Amino acid sequence: MSILTIVTESDAKNPVLRARSKEVADISDAEIQRLIKDMQETLAIAKNGIGIAASQVGRNLRLFRKRLSIIWKERRKKLGRILKRLVRRSRMFRE
């Protein structure tokens, strides 16, 4: 696996960002699987962002990798707030 270079908005002249991405024909292809792992590793060391598209790493493919830990962390926070409200309301009815 390797860390990929991320193309940013400041690289707007990059033709891969402007081109229509191609569909992935076979997700089980060894090259595609290697790209997915490389994207995962790149995303793991990125300081911000919740996901990365293949076009952001120079590949003209319809492929996206997201960081689930951030999404789940936000959902746990929201669920925690909802549960606290329910506990407070249930205490009101008991008293």
- Each residue of 31-66: pLDDT tens digit? 999 999 999 899 888 877 778 889 889 898 999 888
Q: How confident is the model at residue 15 (pLDDT cuts 50, 70, 90)?
A: confident
* Cα–Cα distance measured from residue 54 to residue 7, given in angstroms and rounded to the nearest whole number: 10
Q: pLDDT at position 29, please? A: 92
Can you give the length of the chain in residues? 95
Per-domain boundaries in the chain: 9-67
Find where tokens 């290697």 sit: 34
